[in-house]
């Protein structure tokens, strides 16, 4: 593969990362919990959004780069991961479709009314990063992406690393912009708009999960 082909391949893989992960992460559905956590304090919102995105970036990069090797260590095939990840994604979407609000979101909102800054930052990983932003479905998708990129040559590993770091940066940039401006986003959507958006994204998650399971089953049959 010549230099131009390598650049085109890397660009294609870079775009694939946010296209795959953002519908699963669905940062708009996390915005309501984020607002409940920080209240109307814009300085805390900026600080928490930055920390959540730093955490999410590390999780995504690690999942893409070493997730496939962890699978090999435990003897788990990629089709099985796709089926399991698809099942988790579909189950999460189905739960969102049939519940008035996410159980995790309710728990966070109830505890976040008068939370000081230090306690807010303690929640930057659990539950804001995991499971609300980078949950099991996101991890499964990261592992699947990383396994597709991994090959034996150093050049392939280098291009995979570029895709992992660059693709994760694109994902967390979108997440950061939405979370940082979540107060404005929620205000513009209103209660009805937020509910409609969550229901639409929940249906999309169910479809993505079923597609992942179908792809994994199809590969097992080959």
Please write the tens of the pLDDT for every residue from 35-72. Answer: 777 777 778 888 899 999 999 999 999 999 988 788 88
CA of 133: how far to CAs of 45, 151, 171, 222, in Å? 16, 29, 11, 34
Mean pLDDT, rounded, for 192-214: 76
The predicted pLDDT at position 55 comes to 95
Q: For residue 52, how many C-alpha atoms fall within 13 Å in the half-sphere facing its CB?
A: 37
Mean pLDDT, rounded, for 93-113: 58
Query: How far apart are the C-alpha atoms of 186 and 28, rounded to whole Å?
Result: 9
**Least reliable range by pLDDT among 22-31, 32-41, 44-53, 178-187:** 32-41
**Least reliable range by pLDDT among 107-111, 166-170, 193-197:** 107-111
187 or 171, higher pLDDT: 171
| This prediction's pTM | 0.73
Query: How far apart are the C-alpha atoms of 101 and 198, rounded to whole Å?
Result: 9
CA 147 to chain centre: 17
DSSP character for 65? H
CA of 162: how far to CAs of 118, 134, 165, 166, in Å? 34, 20, 5, 6
DSSP character for 201? H
- Read off the pLDDT band of 17 (50, 70, 90): very high
The pLDDT tens digits of the residues spanning 112-163 come to 545 566 666 777 887 788 877 897 778 878 887 887 665 567 777 788 889 9
202 or 207, higher pLDDT: 207
The pLDDT tens digits of the residues spanning 206-219 come to 887 788 788 888 88
The predicted pLDDT at position 104 comes to 47
């Amino acid at each position: 593969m010549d230099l131009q082909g390598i650049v085109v391949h890397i660009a294609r893989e870079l775009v694939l990362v946010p296209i795959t992960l953002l519908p699963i992460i669905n940062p708009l559905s996390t915005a309501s919990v984020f607002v409940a956590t920080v209240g109307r304090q814009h300085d805390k919102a900026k600080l928490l959004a930055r920390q959540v995105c730093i955490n999410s970036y590390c999780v995504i990069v690690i999942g893409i780069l070493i997730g496939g090797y962890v699978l090999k260590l435990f003897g788990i095939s990629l089709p099985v991961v796709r089926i399991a990840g698809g099942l988790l994604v579909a189950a999460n979407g189905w739960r969102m479709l049939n519940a008035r609000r996410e159980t995790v979101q309710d728990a966070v909102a109830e505890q976040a009314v008068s939370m000081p800054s230090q306690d807010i930052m303690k929640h930057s990983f659990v539950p804001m990063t995991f499971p609300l932003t980078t949950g099991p479905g996101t991890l499964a998708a990261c592992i699947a992406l990383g396994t597709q990129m991994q090959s034996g040559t150093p050049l392939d590993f280098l291009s995979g690393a570029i895709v992992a770091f660059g693709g994760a940066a694109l994902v967390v940039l979108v997440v950061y912009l939405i979370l940082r401006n979540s107060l404005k986003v929620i205000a513009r959507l209103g209660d009805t708009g937020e509910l409609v958006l969550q229901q639409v994204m929940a249906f999309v998650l169910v479809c993505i999960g079923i597609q992942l399971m179908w792809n994994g089953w199809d590969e097992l049959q080959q």
